[in-house]
Structure 1
């Protein structure tokens, strides 16, 4: 018999199909693994926002083709969808666009931050519109508001609201 996580993974296929090109757009393609100034010390980023949290074996300087990166992303996003699903009991009943937005949000911030966020608290309270809006509170990196994060959160909020 399939576990709740396995069922959730299968139910996330449409959300991952929505989230994949969305994340590719917002993360951008980085062919060489390297430390980004906006990332915490020791974090290496490559492809479409993958980090050494996703694969600790990758070292700075490792090269990836765009096709390799595109092939890795859906499975990586699925892992993040499963993680956020763990703190959103009604995940299975959410519209795919809301799941896709939450998956992108989680991929960018990490499951721990998202699961403690006001956005998830509002989803769990049944207030999806307010949850979508609450994503706009997460526009800082290293304590500074970043225009790129404002733009991304606006796009995530708009994607989230499509399903409500």
Structure 2
């Protein structure tokens, strides 16, 4: 399993620069809640935006949430990498911005997105510009997503001349 987030050997101590950047970026956007809550569209969510197997009344420690985030980022990274032709050729900032989008919208949506298609065509600027299209939840524009996508776009464009 190829990853840019962790060096061989695993564990949080083995995080690469991309891994640390991804945790900061996604963790910062998602925020941390140590209990289950309903998100803006009513989906049970906890920790750093985790939705898988989350039920009402669940509580978590920060350490558990941190581990869940790393594990989920790696799963999402694997899905993202599977639909990109040359993921290791992407600048680290573009890679992390793509992973942040993938984490938020899901692997399938990312893989079908204009961003993925443009990255595969070598159009990094176009891919970064397209991130702002993902600003809706439940069919309506959400201010937090508008802000997140603008920040992801800025990160994505950092390495573009």
TM-score (normalizing by structure 1): 0.85
Contiguous gaps of at least 5 residues in structure 2: 7-16
Could you say which residue in structure 2 is the equivalent of 1:3?
Answer: none
| Structure 1 Cα separation of the partners of residues 5 and 55 of structure 2 | 30
User: Relative contact order: is structure 1 or structure 2 higher (C-alpha 8 Å, sep ≥ 6)?
Assistant: 1
Contact 1:19/1:103 (CA < 8 Å) preserved in 2? Answer: yes
Give, in angstroms, the shift of residue 27 of structure 1: 0.6
Cα deviation, 1:34-61, whole Å, max 9, x if unaligned, reads 332325xxx4210001111xxx3x4221
Q: Where does the alignment leave 5 or more consecutive residues of structure 1 unmatched?
A: 1-5
Moved beyond 4 Å, runs of 4+:
none
Distance 1:75 1:97 in 2: 20
Change (3 A) 1:163 1:27: same
SS state at 1:89 partner: coil
Aligned length: 150
Aligned Cα root-mean-square deviation (Å): 1.4
Task: Encode CA deviations 1:125-157: one digit per residue, 9 max, x unaligned.
Answer: 100011001000110111111110000001111
Match of 1:32 in 2: 35
Counterpart of 2:5 in structure 1 is 12
Q: Is 2:47 the partner of 1:47?
A: yes
Higher mean Cα deviation, 87-96 or 66-75?
Answer: 66-75
* d(CA) in 2 for partners of 1:147, 1:36: 14
Higher mean Cα deviation, 69-78 or 90-99?
69-78
